[in-house]
Amino acid sequence: MDWADFGVDLHLELDASGGRRAGLERALRDAIRDGRLPPSTRLPATRTLAAELGLSRGTVSAAYDQLVAEGWLVARIGAGTEVSPLRRAAPPPAASPPAATPLRYDLRAGSPDVGAFPVTAWLRATRRALAAAPAGAYDYGDPRGRPELRAALAGYLGRARGVLADPERIVVTTGYVQALVLLTTVLRDAGTPRIAMEDPGLAFHREVVRRHGGAVLPLPVDDRGARADLLGAGQLAEVAAAVVTPAHQFPTGVTLHPARRHALTDWARATDGLVVEDDYDGEFRYDRQPVGAVQGTAPEQVAYVGTAAKTLGPALRLAWLVLPARLVEPVVEAKRHLDLHTEAIGQLALADLITTHAYDRQIRTVRRRYRQRRDLLLDRLDPGRGGRFTLGGVSAGLHATVRLPPDGPTEAEILAAAAARGLALGGLGGHWHGPGEHPPGLVVGYGRPPSHTYPVALDILARVLGTAGRRP
Say if 4-83 and 116-356 have the same CATH topology.
Answer: no
DSSP class per residue in 114-171: GGG--HHHHHHHHHHHHHH--GGGGS---TT--HHHHHHHHHHHHHHH-----GGGEE
Strands (E), 268-337: 274-278, 302-307, 319-322
Domain 116-356 is found in CATH 3.30.56.10: no
Q: Average of pLDDT values for 257-275?
A: 97
Q: What is the pLDDT, as a whole number, of residue 430?
A: 92
Tens digit of each residue's pLDDT (9 = 90 or more) over 85-107: 886 655 555 555 555 556 899 99
Residue 472 has pLDDT above 60, yes or no: no
Is 246 or 101 the better-scoring residue by pLDDT? 246
Residue 44 DSSP one-character state: P
Q: What is the pLDDT of residue 322?
A: 98
pTM as predicted:
0.85
Q: What is the pLDDT of residue 247?
A: 95
- As a whole-number percent, the residues of the chain with pLDDT over 90 amount to 76
Task: Decide if 41 contacts 82 (C-beta within 8 A).
Answer: yes
How far apart CA 406 and CA 471 sit, in angstroms, is 10
Q: Round the average pLDDT of the chain to a whole number and report it.
A: 91
Structural domain boundaries of the chain? 4-83, 105-111+368-467, 116-356
Mean predicted confidence (pLDDT) in 244-265? 97
Type and span of the H or E element at 402? strand 399-403
Cβ-based neighbours of 357, under 8 Å, separated by 6 or more: none
From CA 53, how far away is CA 12, in angstroms rounded? Answer: 9
Highest-pLDDT range among 53-62, 63-72, 82-91, 316-325 = 316-325
Measured CA to CA, the distance from residue 358 to residue 347 in angstroms comes to 15
- In Å, how far are 303, 462, 466 from 411, measured between CA atoms? 35, 15, 14
CATH topology of domain 4-83: Arc Repressor Mutant, subunit A (1.10.10)
pLDDT of residue 109: 96
105-111+368-467, which class in CATH?
Answer: alpha beta
Position 470 scores a pLDDT of 40
pLDDT average, residue stretch 173-180: 98
Average pLDDT value for residue range 390-417: 92
pLDDT for 471: 38
